[in-house]
Structure 1
Amino acid sequence: MLLCFKSQVCIRKGLTIAPYIMMMASALFIRNHRHRIHVRRSLLTIHSNLDDIMNEVLNLGNFSQFQFSTIDNNKRSGPEDWLAVDWNREEQHVVASPPSPVDQVWIRDRPVYIKRDDQLRLPGSQLSGNKARKMLTLTCMQDFPDCIVSYGGPQSNAMLALAAVVHFQNQKINYADNKKRFVYYTKKLPRFLRSQPNGNLFRALLLGMELVEVSVQDYNDLFGGDFGGSPEPPKNLPPPIPGKSIWIPQGGACGVAVAGAKLLAEEIISYWRDNGRGRPLTVAVPGGTCSTAVLLYNAIRSLQNEQTDEGKLDVKVLVIPCVGDDGYARRQMASLLSQTRQTGTNDGVLCELPEILPPYPENMSGLGRSNTEQYVTFGTPDASVLDVYREINDECGVQLDLLYGASAWTVLLRHWRSELLWESSEHPTSANFQGRQLMYVHSGGLEGINSQLLRYHYKGLVSIEDVQILSQRRI
């Protein structure tokens, strides 16, 4: 495996891209026709249509100097300065893409249905995975706002998705005077990442994202700390363009995600009605903010209520927390439901939440650890997660991301055993799975897997030969 270091110069605006940045960028722009799966000899060969957009930006030189800035603590504004969006009304303009396929695979001698949202593509922005679902309404807005504002981590999939949506809008208007902006708040970057952007950060900056760095204290004050806060814009955060800026909370956990969840529910119900043969189904969803899971749960319940008792399907939704613990997942989902006005009271909210998968089956719990410790620690390289990532890749040819997909399966596999062991196992299958078929919603996120594997390499868990970094054509 070769590592290619190239010093490249973008003639337009004299932008010099340092050799180390190009090395990291080369990990992003993989020149394959479709997703290809390699076994352990090479952990990674991934390409998405979003890479084609990256290539176009690089080839055309239609990007300016990366924009980094810091927050001005002297500016203040109120919620009235932000543009309010009626997402229910915008939902009327949504144009659905064709349904994502469903693959049946075998994992530890058990059949699993994989809902391949990683293969879903939104026209124009080329978003995939659950961000294609979440950002569907935003992509289809009739009167797109002048500025999108959000916040989160510097390698966030939602960050890259929003950057792609805004970039697509600018392509449509051909970079006219009314250029759309995407402003993103994050904590102060580590020095190496600021000088050597990589992964989703590099891509989002390349697509024109304006990055605003704030101190840890300011970040916690504004956004409620590592696990997020209110879905409303912070009271002391002024919009970049008053009256023309909209706020999208971390991970897209707001009304913008409702329409995509409804379409996902319709696809799952339609597929299971045609292929389920009346069997009970558990739909497992990895959760960050858990917005996809809770909106999907309520959308499926709504569809089930429209069915007659005779034709009603037994379909339940199960969320697997990948950020924080079950308490955090419950708070996030309740907050989203309250915001989208899908229930009346707090007591009603709690009744509308999907089941949350505990970190271990009941007969394996009580190991002297808190739930947070028992769940996988988000973003931290973990040997057990890497083992599961390899197992799913090798056994059934499905590529997972390491932050959500492989982490979710690490917890999931603790709860069930090979079908041959169901009757005799000392740790029998959880009631969430026993006697039920399993469908896993593949949330995508494969665009960021290169930087994820590099972090595993830095921790000594993956050799550099396993991180396939391919060179991209010269600029």
Structure 2
Amino acid sequence: MCVTPTQELNFFGKKLWVKRDDLARIEGVSEHFNGNKARKFYALLHNPNKIFLSYGGNQSNAMLALSALTHAQKKRFIYVTPTPSQFLRENKNGNFALAREFGAEFIFADSGTNALELKNKALAHFKTLSFKEKYFIPQGGDLELAKEGTITQCKEIWDFIQKNFSTKEALVFCATGSGVSALALAQVAKELKYNMQIVPILCAKIEGFEKNFAKTLHTNFAFGALKKEVWEMYRALLRKGIEFDLLYDCPALYALKNALDSQFFTQNELEKEWIFIHSGGLLGNLTQIPRFQRKFKTL
């Protein structure tokens, strides 16, 4: 994987360095295998199994990333997900459409199926597969799987800190859904004795997650909710020259701006350099943008 660049951004008066993991590329694999999913699933590049099975939402970035990876490696990818809406089924753009083009094999559950029910359905189907070379991937991945790609990411961030910051320390922010990426990054930074504080911004509620970090932020929105503040953040950042995804990064950056405005951070934390890790997954905006445009016609 190429070393991704880090770009300076004026974030409402505070200098914010953006680690452009949306630009992550791996030779021979589609550009849609990028962002934190490329880091989390990097170890799968040399996984010998021939069939991968996972589960989750039908607009998932992980679904697309795994579809792109297995397509490049000529492997099978089976994905258990709630039945998509007619709009998604007929739409030729977005994560679901491209995952289908990459050859993902879908097993549909009822549209209202929750995460636990999806997991059970996925596990049940996994057990029925007669092949020995099969591999089960939990929703959002897991810590052990994420570690290899995260080590590379962490070293890149630390190298940038050492070369560019006189204080040799930084606050590192990342949007998180399952919590895996943030936990892996914090664990690796601690093991490597890197002086950087990981501050996850939760886009969904995770019980007991905060105890792992000195500081956490929350979006306080239901995941995927069409909020005016998120749409305005997307447009404001786009004008500054960087596009962020509407499901994770834009809600997370809105939460970060709120924290900045409400004096959530100590003076010492404000004086440190700040880095935000771009989540990637911009293809999902092709289906999200029309939803926001329909709701906020005047913006």
TM-score (norm 2): 0.90
State the partner residue of 2:69: 165
Give the distance between the partners of 1:385 and 1:462, measured in 2 at CA: 15
Alpha carbons 2:2, 2:26 under 8 Å: kept? no
Superposition map of 1:95-174 within 5 A:
97-126=1-30, 127-141=33-47, 143=48, 145-170=49-74
Structure 1 stretches lacking a partner, 5+ long: 1-96, 171-179, 305-312, 332-349, 360-373, 418-426, 464-475
Q: Secondary structure at 2:171's aligned position in 1? A: strand
Q: Which residue of 1 aligns with 2:231?
A: 386
Structure 1's 267 and 384: CA in aligned 2 closer, same or farther, altered over 3 A? same
Letter in 2 for 1:131: K
Is the alpha carbon distance of 1:438 and 1:249 closer, same or farther for their aligned partners in structure 2, counting shifts above 3 Å? Answer: same
Structure 1 distance, partners of 2:271, 2:171, is 10
Q: Match of 2:246?
A: 402
Equivalence for 2:200: 319
Q: How much does 1:428 deviate?
A: 2.6
Q: 2:286 maps to which residue?
A: 450
Instruction: Identify the residue that residue 310 of structure 1 maps to in structure 2.
Output: none
How many angstroms apart in 2 are the aligned matches of 1:240 and 1:429? 50
The equivalent of 2:80 in structure 1 is: 185
CA deviation profile, 1:231-256 (whole Å, cap 9, x unmatched): xx635753434322210111223522
In structure 2, do the counterparts of structure 1 residues 241 and 458 end up closer, same or farther at CA, with 3 Å as the change threshold?
A: farther
The superposition leaves residues 400-449 of structure 1 with CA deviations (integer Å, 9 ceiling, x where unpaired) of 110011010010001114xxxxxxxxx43523842222100011111111
CA contact (8 A) 1:321 1:356 kept: no
State how far apart, in whole Å, the 2-side matches of 1:239 and 1:270 are. 46
| CA deviation after TM superposition for structure 1 residue 356, in Å | 4.7
Structure 1 contact 279–437 (Cα < 8 Å) conserved: no
The alignment partner of 1:440 has SS state of strand
Percent of residue pairs bearing the same amino acid type = 28
Structure having the larger proportion of residues in helix: 2
**CA displacement at 1:462 relative to structure 2:** 6.8
1:136: how far off? Answer: 1.2
What is the CA–CA distance in structure 1 between the aligned matches of 2:130 and 2:286, rounded to whole Å? 35
Residues 380 and 103 (structure 1), Cα distance of their counterparts in 2 relative to 1, 3 Å cut: same
Structure 1 residues 274, 329: closer, same or farther in 2, change over 3 A? farther
- Equivalent residue in structure 1 for 2:116, among 216, 224, 229: 224
Whether 1:199 and 2:94 are equivalent positions in the alignment is yes
Deviation per CA, 1:120-172: give whole Å up to 9, x if none: 1111113211111112110133x2x22110111111110011111111012xx
Whole-Å separation in 2 of the counterparts to 1:112 and 1:196 = 35
Return the offset for 1:280. 3.6
Pair member with larger Rg: 1
Structure 1 residue 460: Cα displacement: 3.7
Aligned-partner SS, 1:251: coil
Counterpart AA for 2:29: S
Bigger proportion of residues as strand: 2
Gaps of 5+ in 2: none
The reply to whether residue 210 of structure 1 matches residue 54 of structure 2 is: no
Provide the rounded CA distance (Å) in 2 between the counterparts of 1:455 and 1:298.
Answer: 37
Q: What one-letter code is carried by the residue in structure 1 that aligns with 2:236?
A: E
Q: Give TM-score, length-normalised by structure 1.
A: 0.58
Number of positions where the alignment pairs a residue of Structure 1 with one of Structure 2: 296
Question: SS of the residue aligned with 1:234?
Answer: helix
Q: Hey, what does 1:428 align to over in structure 2?
A: 263
Kept in 2, the 8 Å contact 1:147–1:241? The answer is no
